[in-house]
A and B are shown apart, each in its own frame.
Chain A
C-alpha cells in the first residue's frame, strides 16, 4: 500500500485485528457461546440447585415472571420439582462435550480421507467417493437409529453416530480443496524434490486447508447440538440421570399440557446456542474463506 504503512510495521496486536477485521464481529453470539462454555465448565458452582434435586412440593412452578412463579426457581420447575435453569446449565455440558468430540472425530477422519482422495486421485479417489455416496444414501437419522439399536445408547454412541454421519461432509469439501492445491507449483516442486508424502501432507496441504476446516467445524456446531438433542429426545442418546436438553424436552413432552415452560426453555437454550454458533460461523467464513459462501 502507501509508504507510511511500510515505514511503521504494524504491531502484533493490530496485525491480528487486521487479519480478522474486528468490524462486524457478532459480539452477542460470542457472549452467548462464552456463557455456554462457562456453564459447561463451572456448572456445578453456578447452578442455583442440584439438577437432579427432586422436590415434589415445588413441582410445576412456572417461571418467575408468570403468575405463581417463585424467585427461587427463575425458569420454573418440572414435574418432579427439579429446577429447570439448573438442568439447562447441567445440560450445556453434554452439548459442549458432544460438539467438541464429535466435531474433532468427524473432522479429522473426514479431512484425512478427503486429503487422500484429492491428493492421490485415481482408484483411491473413486473408492472414497463411492463410500461418501453410500454414506449419504442412508438418511442420517436412520443410520443413527440402526447404530443406536446395535450399540448401547449413551454419550459415546452419540459421538460415534455423529462422527460417522458427518465425516463425508468434510471429506467432500476437503477433497475439492486439495484437488486445486495439488496443482500449485510448490506442491509439485516438493514432490519432484523427493519430499515424502507425509511431509507434503503436513507442511503443504494441512496449513492450507486449516481455514476451511475451522469454518466447517464452526458451522457444524449448531447441527451437532440439534442432532444430539434429537437422538436424546428419541431416547437413543443421553440417558437418565445424565441431563441433556433433548432429554429434558422428551420428559416435558409427557406433561406438555401442564407446563409450557418445560417445553419452551430447553428449546430456547438449543435455539440460542445454534443461532450464535451459526452467526459466528458465517462471520468466520466471510473473514477466512469467502469462496465458501454457498455452504
Chain B
C-alpha cells in the first residue's frame, strides 16, 4: 500500500508541477506584464526598473523557478486590481466554490442513484427509458443554459428563488441543479450497470431463493455492492464540478473562485488568474488522488495487488 501511495503522490506532484509550467508559459505568451502595470508613456528607465523588480530581465527558466519557488510559499504576487496578495483573494473565495461543488454533486447523486437502481430493477421498463431520455437531454444542454432557464422559470416567472448571490439554501438550489445536471447521465449509467451485475450474482439469487423481501435485496444487499463503482468515482465527479463551477458561478453571481478568475481574465489580472487556475488544478489532482486511495479502502484486493 505505501509504495502504491507514494507512487500516486509522485504522479500527482508531477502533474501539479506540469500544470504550473503550462500556466507559466501561457501567461508569458501574452507579452510583457509591465505594459499592464505602467502607463503607456512611462519613461524607459522606469520600465527597466520595473522589469528588474519583477525579475523579467532574467532568463525564462530562472523566471519559472522563481515563480515556482514563490508559488510553493503561497506567493503569486499582488493582484493588479485589488492590491492584495492574489492567493489570499482566491482562497477567500474557495469555501463558496467548494460549497457549490458539494451541492452540485449531492444533487446529481441524489438523482442518479434512484434512477440507476430502478432502471436496473425494471430493466427496459418506463423508468429505464425515461432515465435514458433524461440522460440524453442532460448531455445536450450546456450548464449555463440550464442555469438561465432555471432563472427564467423560478426567479422571473414564479419568483420562488433568488436569481443570484450566496446566502441560504434557497440561493444554492438553482446553481446546484445547473452544475449537477450534466453528470447525472454518466452516474446513472454507472449505478445501473453495477446493479445489473450484482443482481445477477449468486448471493442475490440465493437470497431470492430464500424468500428475502425484494426491497431488502435491492437496497440492502445489491445496492451496497453496486455503490462501490460510483463511490470511487465521486472524486472524479467532484473535480468535474470544480471545472463546471467556473461558468455556473458567473451566471448566478456566485462569489467563488470561478467568477473571480473570469473577472481577473477580463482585467488581465495575471497573478489572480495564475493563483486561481493553479489552485483549481491542485484541487483537481487531490480529488483524483482520493479516488485511487478510496479504491484501496473499499476493495482490499487492490491494496495488495500493486
Contact = CB atoms under 8 A, between A and B. Distances in A.
Nearest to A133: B15
A213 interface: no
Interface in B254-301: 258, 261-262, 264-266, 268, 270, 273-274, 276-277, 280-281, 284-285, 288
Given A141-B243, A275-B136, A230 B23 contact: no
A59 interface: no
B288 to A, nearest CB: 8
Contacts of A274: 139-141
A230 B145 CA distance: 9
Q: Which of A139, A246, A252, A279 has the most CB of B within 10 A?
A: A139
Contacts of B266: 235
Interface in A116-145: 130-131, 133-135, 137-143, 145
A185 B26 CA distance: 44
B137 A150 contact: no
**SS class, residues of chain B in contact with chain A:** helix
B262 A134 contact: no
Contacts of B270: 149
B281 A142 contact: yes
Contact of A249 (B11, B15, B144): B144
A135 B151 CA distance: 34
A138 B281 contact: yes
Interface string B3-32: 000000001001110110011001101100
Contacts of A148: 265
Nearest to A263: B148
A263 B137 contact: no
A76 interface: no
Using C-beta atoms within 8 Å of the partner chain, give the interface range for chain A: 35 or more
Given A234-B247, A234-B262, A138 B144 contact: no
B141 A267 contact: yes
Contact of B246 (A137, A139, A249): A139
Contact of B149 (A138, A146, A263, A272): A263
A253 interface: yes
Contacts of A246: 142
B117 interface: no
B63 to A, nearest CB: 15
Given A142-B261, A146-B27, A236-B265, A229 B15 contact: no
A104 interface: no
A214 to B, nearest CB: 20
B183 interface: no
A33 to B, nearest CB: 13
Contact of B148 (A137, A139, A249): A249
B118 interface: no
Interface string A135-167: 101111111011111110000000000000000
22 contacts: A130-B11, A131-B18, A134-B14, A134-B15, A135-B22, A137-B19, A138-B284, A142-B243, A145-B261, A149-B265, A149-B273, A234-B247, A234-B250, A234-B262, A252-B148, A253-B251, A260-B156, A263-B152, A267-B145, A267-B148, A270-B142, A274-B139
Given A130-B14, A142-B280, A274-B139, 13 more contacts: A130-B15, A138-B23, A141-B258, A142-B243, A143-B22, A145-B261, A145-B265, A145-B273, A146-B26, A148-B265, A150-B26, A229-B142, A278-B139
Interface of A: 130-131, 133-135, 137-143, 145-151, 222, 226, 229-230, 233-236, 246, 249, 252-253, 256-257, 260, 263-264, 267, 270-272, 274-275, 278-279
